[in-house]
Structure 1
């Protein structure tokens, strides 16, 4: 089952209120591990700070609800509306009645009252926009069992990039020391999942996926890259990349820091489901 929820003017709506909203909307549906949840934001974002905050809250609160139902395998995608809703081929669509209820004729349409909140764009309104600030950006990771934290990182990279996003995906040879390595996805699976999500999030963006075979990957050699997108936990890696580029006579990259990977706001969006945890659950399921 594929379910879509439209949200607008998310503002400072607290995580607890969002969990209650997802419980209200999804509680009657017969979801299973193969179901998909698409959350579509209709707000216009100008600053990555605001989008980062919104993504953290939405992935965290929707995942909290699904975990309470033992539905940890359900895929969640939080999207900025840059496409026709019909392209998502949803089985169910939930829309706020205040603004959007009369605009859709979906066969399984439910209209709901969204909790009141101030606009998400009230924060940092005096700051300049960094939407599509860089023509070419890059990021890297393993992207095994692609999860909410990966999707936040990829979303933020797509947001600040106007033309070309280079994604380094760690080659299999560098993963021999990973925990539960026998449950790692193949490099083709990991690359395909990255491509699939970015095509959904920003279909106009050129995405080049490059295998990482050393510490820096393409960021250490590609001169046209302007920015490197990292999570707050991997800022030191960005500094190493810039050191390497300077040594090679290349320009330093602007480092764009994402506030970190799902979870709760009060713990710094610490990731709720890591790739290691997902591989561990695969192992446990295989033993039962």
Structure 2
């Protein structure tokens, strides 16, 4: 099956929306699209905005013929960035068999590249997005600013919001990325629990995604989360914690716990947006609409759809 990759050069300066949208009908029978950003990204707020925009662009694209979304929740989207030539070569050998570009690529890859030249790529009018306040905007940090970064979550039915969280954590890490994944004993009250993936499946999907991004000079460790702090509650050698706006209070709790136990405080990086577009988070709580992602499925939404899909198959 075709496993396509789309290359875009500089989404900080140019809007590639129409180029990407023009290609999507070609991939209707695929189960995955990778989007690769070729220019170096150095500021976290810029990367967060780019990931937010392009994940949403692809996920929410409508299928005019069927009066619905072109790709359902099972369709895999991966946005990759700051990749070395060695990493690109590895991915082209193991993950892709055809590429698409609006610009002529200076890369030498082992896959055919189709160059599209009849679509305009308009420049982006720059605006300030490095706001650091209580309205949910991203905190500005810099590429590989922290030696060791931590991120945690349930990561059930790994979706676009999870991928933004993991991507931002990898972006800020220079040496070691610590990933906490919630153990099943903390998930007994989840909605549609029958469709909750077991710990091993969730871990495997996280590892699969991180391996698309991470370079050889970095490494990652995965820990089970059995309490509110997870590894941030007992590993001193952590510099930064990645959280979403809706879990800001959790970051504050972690730092209070670390202070009480004599650990150094963590730099907290707040990113946007991991909330479900249906008005609720993965725990069934209401999410502020301005901090939610319209059209993005939460893990709870996905479990509900899986439940209904299997129910319909039986009937």
TM-score tier (shorter): 0.7 to 0.9
Deviates more, 1:193-202 or 1:61-70: 61-70
Are residues 1:186 and 2:198 paired? yes
Structure 1 SS opposite 2:221: strand
Alignment partner of 1:84 out of 76, 85, 88: 88
- Matched-pair contact (CA < 8 Å) for 1:171–1:211: yes
Distance in structure 2 (CA, Å) of the matches to 1:91 and 1:251:
47
Q: How does 1:92-131 map to 2 (within 5 A)?
A: 92-97=98-103, 99-100=104-105, 106-107=111-112, 109-112=114-117, 113=119, 115-118=121-124, 130-131=142-143
- C-alpha distance in 2, partners of 1:250/1:215? 16
Q: Distance in 2 between matches of 1:200 and 1:227?
A: 22
2:19 is aligned with 1:21: yes
Following superposition of structure 1 onto structure 2, how do residues 35-54 of structure 1 map, counting pairs within 5 Å? 35-54=31-50
The residue aligned with 1:59 is 55
Specify every segment of 5 or more residues in structure 2 that has no aligned partner in the other structure, as ranges.
Answer: 63-67, 131-138, 278-288
- Name the structure where helix makes up a greater proportion of residues: 1
CA distance in 1, matches of 2:128, 2:293: 25
- Partner of residue 302, structure 2: 278
CA distance in 1, matches of 2:239, 2:225: 18
- Structure-1 separation of matches of 2:208 and 2:120: 30
SS for the counterpart of 2:241 is strand
Separation in 1, partners of 2:75, 2:5: 13
Deviations 1:49-77 (A, max 9, x none): 11001110110101111662253311000
2:10 aligned partner: 9
* Distance in 2 of aligned mates of 1:224 and 1:104: 39
Q: Which residue of 2 aligns with 1:145?
A: 157
Unaligned runs of 5+ in 1: none
1:208, distance to aligned residue in structure 2 (A): 0.4
Instruction: Give the 3 Å change call, closer, same or farther, for CA 161–104 of structure 1 in structure 2.
Output: closer
Alignment RMSD, CA only? 2.8
Deviations 1:179-209 (A, max 9, x none): 0011111101111111111111113321100
SS of 1:84's equivalent? helix
Query: C-alpha separation between the residues in 2 aligned to 1:70 and 1:172?
Result: 29
> After alignment, is 59-68 or 235-244 more displaced?
59-68
Q: Secondary structure at the match of 1:255?
A: strand
> How far apart, in 2, do the equivalents of 1:137 and 1:55 lie?
19
8 A Cα contact 2:276 2:298, kept in partner: no
Greater mean alpha carbon deviation, residues 76-85 or residues 245-254: 76-85
TM-score by length of 1: 0.87
Q: How does 1:137-176 map to 2 (within 5 A)?
A: 137-176=149-188
Alpha carbons 2:73, 2:302 under 8 Å: kept: no
Asked whether the equivalents of residues 60 and 263 of structure 1 are also in contact (C-alpha less than 8 Å), the reply is no
TM-score, normalising length: structure 2: 0.80
8 Å CA contact retained: 1:8, 1:43: yes
Higher relative contact order (CA 8 A, sep 6+): 1
